[in-house]
Amino acid sequence: MNVLLFLTLIIISFIVVRIGAIAFQLTGLEWSLAKFQALSCFTGTGFTTKEAELITGDKRRRRIASVLIVIGHAGLVTMIATFANTLRPPIIDIPLLSDSVPPGVMPWINLAVIVVAIYIIYKVSTNTKFARKLTDALRKRIVKRDIVKPVSFEELTIATGGYGVSRVTVGSGSCILDKSLSDSQLRKSDITVLAIIRADKTIPNPAAGAQILLDDELICFGKLENIRNQLCPAAA
pLDDT for the residue 49: 61
Rounded CA gap, 103 and 94, in Å? 11
**10-residue stretch averages of pLDDT, the chain, 236 residues long:** 79 90 80 84 72 74 89 83 69 49 67 82 76 85 77 46 80 88 90 87 91 89 82 54
Rounded CA gap, 184 and 174, in Å? 11
pLDDT for the residue 193: 93
- Tell whether pTM > 0.85: no
Q: Which residues of 169-183 are buried (b: 16+ CB within 10 A; e: fewer)?
A: ebeeebebbebebee
Q: Which residues of 107-141 are buried (b: 16+ CB within 10 A; e: fewer)?
A: bebbeebbeebeeeeeeebeeeeeeeebbeebbee
Rounded CA gap, 33 and 29, in Å? 7
Rounded CA gap, 11 and 8, in Å? 5
Give, rounded to a whole angstrom, the gap between the first and last alpha carbons of the chain. 50
pLDDT for the residue 95: 53
Nearest to 47 by CA among 24, 225, 38: 38
Which strands form 201-204's sheet, in the order they lie side by side?
A: 163-169, 217-223, 191-198, 201-204
Handedness of CA 132, 138, 143, 149 (dihedral sign): negative
Rounded CA gap, 7 and 70, in Å? 20
According to DSSP, residue 210 is labeled: P
Rounded CA gap, 11 and 19, in Å? 13
Rounded CA gap, 5 and 42, in Å? 19
Rounded CA gap, 65 and 203, in Å? 30
Nearest to 188 by CA among 222, 154, 158: 222
